[in-house]
Amino acid sequence: MTLLEGKNLTMIFGGLAALDSVDITIEEGEILSLIGPNGAGKTTLFNLITGVYSPTRGSICFKQKEIINMKPYDITKMGIARTFQNIRLFGEMSVLDNVIIGQHCRTRTGVVGAILRTSAVKKEEKKVHDRAMEILNFVGLDNEAAEKAKNLPYGKQRRLELARALATEPDLMLLDEPAAGMNPQETNELIELIGKLNDMGKTVLLIEHDMKLVMGISQRIMVLDYGKKIADGPPEKIRNDEKVIKAYLGDRTRKEVQAC
Ligand X SMILES: Nc1ncnc2c1ncn2[C@@H]1O[C@H](COP(=O)(O)OP(=O)(O)OP(=O)(O)O)[C@@H](O)[C@H]1O
Instruction: Please give the residue ranges that form the binding site for ligand X (CB under 6 A).
Output: 13, 16, 18, 36, 38-44, 85
Best CA proximity match to 157, nearest among 168, 170, 172, 144: 144
Pick 177 or 241: Cβ nearer Mg ion? 177
Q: What angle do CA 69, 60, 102 make, to 5 degrees?
A: 70
Pick 95 or 247: Cβ nearer Mg ion? 247
Is there binding between residue 187 and Mg ion (CB under 5 A)? no
Pick 43 or 203: Cβ nearer Mg ion? 43
Are residues 80 and 62 in contact, defined by beta-carbon separation less than 8 angstroms? yes
Q: Which helix (H) or strand (E) element contains residue 196? A: helix 184-199
Which single residue brings its beta carbon nearest to Mg ion? 43
Pick 18 or 135: Cβ nearer Mg ion? 18
User: What is the three-state SS of 2-45?
Assistant: EEEEEEEEEEEECCEEEEEEEEEEEECCCEEEEECCCCCCHHHH
Are residues 35 and 223 in contact, defined by beta-carbon separation less than 8 angstroms? yes
Torsion of CA 63, 29, 18, 20, to 10 degrees: -70
- Taking CB within 5 to 8 Å according to partner kind, which of Mg ion, ligand X, none is near residue 119? none
Q: Which stretch binds Mg ion (CB under 5 A): 40-48, 131-139, 146-154, 230-238?
A: 40-48
Name the minimum Å distance from CB 2 to ligand X.
23
Helices 154-166 and 95-102 meet at what angle, rounded to 10?
A: 30
Is there binding between residue 33 and Mg ion (CB under 5 A)? no
Name the minimum Å distance from CB 41 to Mg ion.
9
Q: How far is CA 200 from CA 24, 28, 203, in A?
A: 23, 12, 9
Name the minimum Å distance from CB 18 to ligand X.
3
Name the minimum Å distance from CB 122 to Mg ion.
42
Pick 24 or 100: Cβ nearer ligand X? 24
Is there binding between residue 157 and Mg ion (CB under 5 A)? no
Name the minimum Å distance from CB 177 to Mg ion.
7
Would you mind telling me the total number of residues written for the chain in this entry?
Answer: 260
Is there binding between residue 43 and Mg ion (CB under 5 A)? yes
Pick 51 or 102: Cβ nearer ligand X? 51
Binding positions for Mg ion, 195-254, rule CB under 5 A: none
Binding positions for Mg ion, 75-94, rule CB under 5 A: 85
Are residues 157 and 182 in contact, defined by beta-carbon separation less than 8 angstroms? no
Where along the sequence are the contacts to Mg ion (CB under 5 A)? 42-43, 85
